[in-house]
Amino acid sequence: MMNGKQYRESLKKLKPIIYCNGEKIEDVTTHPMIRPHVNSAAMTYELASDPLYQNLMTARSHLTGKTINRFTHIHQSKEDLVSKVKMLRMIANKTGTCFQRCVGLDAMNATFMTTYDIDKKCGTEYHKRFVKWLEYVQENDLMIAGSMTDPKGNRSLKPSAQADPDLFTRVVEKRDDGVVLCGAKAHQTGMANSHEMLILPTTNLLPGDEAWAIACAVPVDAEGVTHIFGRQTNDQRRLQGHIDTGNAEYAIVGGETLTVLDHVFVPWDRVFMCGEIEFAQDYVTRFASYHRQNYGGCKVGNSDVLIGATALMADMNGTARASHVKDKLIEMTHLAETMYCCSLACSYEGHRTEAGNYYVDTLLANEVKLNCTRNIYEIARLAHDIAGGFIATLPYEKDLMAPETGDLIRKFLAANAEFDAVDRIKLARLIENMSGGTALAESMHGAGSPQAMKVMILRESNMDRKKELAADLADLFCEKEA
């Protein structure tokens, strides 16, 4: 396993093409826009080498028997599924943001199951290839970006019907030694500081869409790959100081990229699906369900920090004893723990698959994420309510530091005299940054938009059985049957 330092060194050896704000990034580990995201991901390496956290952070590889980082593990039990959730909450407590590495973990577990199923039905050898690549990932403790989402163009059209066929990633050439890809993957969390990406389809596919049924592993610096780094709320504050950033060490959400694939060659031993459209829907559902499970771990871990910051702000404002403030803090906790309950439940209700790994209960996993699309917004709303309007109107850090204005700001932003005014400002910036634009949008769309969960919930809800239960109790339809 790598530690944090080794992870950073391993990134320096890669040569991905990354553009950010008109500039080509040479070293992600030192660039001020990407470094905070590297720091968050590095936490998944640092904690794995800390004896205090090894139970949660490491696992025994079912392939080699060696101790590996849990972010490269194929779940072998319900306890593994539960440990994943607890691990995510624990790391989020330390970073207060996304640490990115779960997407690849989920893509790997979904690929493990799906390649097994494809081989069983089609006599292919995708599973063997995938397992060999997985062993390499585990052995080298690689960070894998989970690359599902295509740009998608016109949402009502399937890939083969799009005006531009590249709007979904596709195979443009099959060669004796491999395939050539064109297209792009959007919103790629942690891509800039990953080692490889695991590409999988983004939607169910129909006859005619075979070229778009592609799953494969691609190094982030493969020829033909270009990454364009996304903006985040207040990201330029990173260039201007420390306090205004709110969480300067770790930034906000995952540092997403638009990753363009322009005639990227992938050798056959890295191709895990090629043309089998009938498996695309299950593949997507599995990845999405594993990923939705996470949100009651990491987002609850982030909420722990935000709730703590809000409670501390109430102390600083002198409002902590007011009953409505206590009630709102209880409500925030209730909303967070509800999501955690769902994540634990979908893990404990998981089951062993035919491929041998463990998979979450899909209905309950979708409940986690649907709750998240609402609860995180409500938690943020309550944080804003308790913190006060100054989180939206605070002066610049530069003015706080300036001789002409610094003392005035300290004087007029003082509240409860037991606390320092600058600490109050720092805390306000943390709340502002954890509860604002980018962080909220991630809770809405990360792992799928709410409607995607509702479709799954309807599919899994067994409505006919529910109708039967009611009909039996109400003694319905007897006459018709008689």
Ligand X SMILES: Cc1cc2nc3c(=O)[nH]c(=O)nc-3n(C[C@H](O)[C@H](O)[C@H](O)COP(=O)(O)OP(=O)(O)OC[C@H]3O[C@@H](n4cnc5c(N)ncnc54)[C@H](O)[C@@H]3O)c2cc1C
102 is known as an active-site residue:
yes
Binding to ligand X (CB under 6 A) within 212-271 occurs at 253-254, 256
Cα separation of 342 and 412, whole Å? Answer: 44
Minimum distance, C-beta of residue 293 to ligand X, in the bound complex (Å):
14
Q: Among 283, 290, 295, 358, which one carries the catalytic annotation? A: 295
Of 416, 449, 461, 462, the one binding ligand X by CB under 6 A: 449
98 is known as an active-site residue:
yes
Binding to ligand X (CB under 6 A) within 95-154 occurs at 103, 146-149, 152
295 is known as an active-site residue:
yes
Compute how many other C-beta atoms are within 10 angstroms of the C-beta atom of residue 210: 17
**DSSP-assigned letter for residue 147:** E
Minimum distance, C-beta of residue 314 to ligand X, in the bound complex (Å):
29
- Residue closer to ligand X, measured from CB, 185 or 270: 185
Residue 255 region by backbone torsions, left for phi larger than 0, else alpha for psi between -120 and 50, else beta: left
451 forms part of the interface with ligand X (CB under 6 A):
yes
404 is known as an active-site residue:
no
189 is known as an active-site residue:
yes
Q: Which residue has the tokens 């100081």?
A: 241
- Residue closer to ligand X, measured from CB, 212 or 314: 212
- Residue closer to ligand X, measured from CB, 151 or 388: 151
Minimum distance, C-beta of residue 144 to ligand X, in the bound complex (Å):
10
For ligand X, which stretch binds (CB under 6 A), given 65-73, 351-359, 396-404, 444-452? 444-452
Minimum distance, C-beta of residue 187 to ligand X, in the bound complex (Å):
3
Residue 254, CA distances (Å) to 37, 97, 129, 439, 459 in order: 6, 8, 29, 9, 30
Q: Among 20, 98, 274, 372, which one carries the catalytic annotation? A: 98
Cα separation of 147 and 151, whole Å? Answer: 11
- DSSP codes of every residue in 346-369: HHHT-EE-TTS-EE--HHHHHHHH
125 is known as an active-site residue:
no
Q: Among 20, 298, 346, 372, which one carries the catalytic annotation? A: 298
Instruction: Calculate ∠ Cα 104-107-111, nearest 5°.
Output: 140
Of 83, 442, 453, 456, the one binding ligand X by CB under 6 A: 442
Cα separation of 293 and 231, whole Å? Answer: 26
441 forms part of the interface with ligand X (CB under 6 A):
yes
- DSSP codes of every residue in 384-446: HHHH-THHHHPPPHHHHHSTTTHHHHHHHT--STTS-HHHHHHHHHHHHHHSSHHHHHHHHHT
**DSSP-assigned letter for residue 264:** E
Active site residues: 98, 102, 189, 256, 291, 295, 298, 442
Binding site for ligand X (CB under 6 A): 103, 146-149, 152, 155-156, 187-189, 253-254, 256, 441-442, 445-449, 451
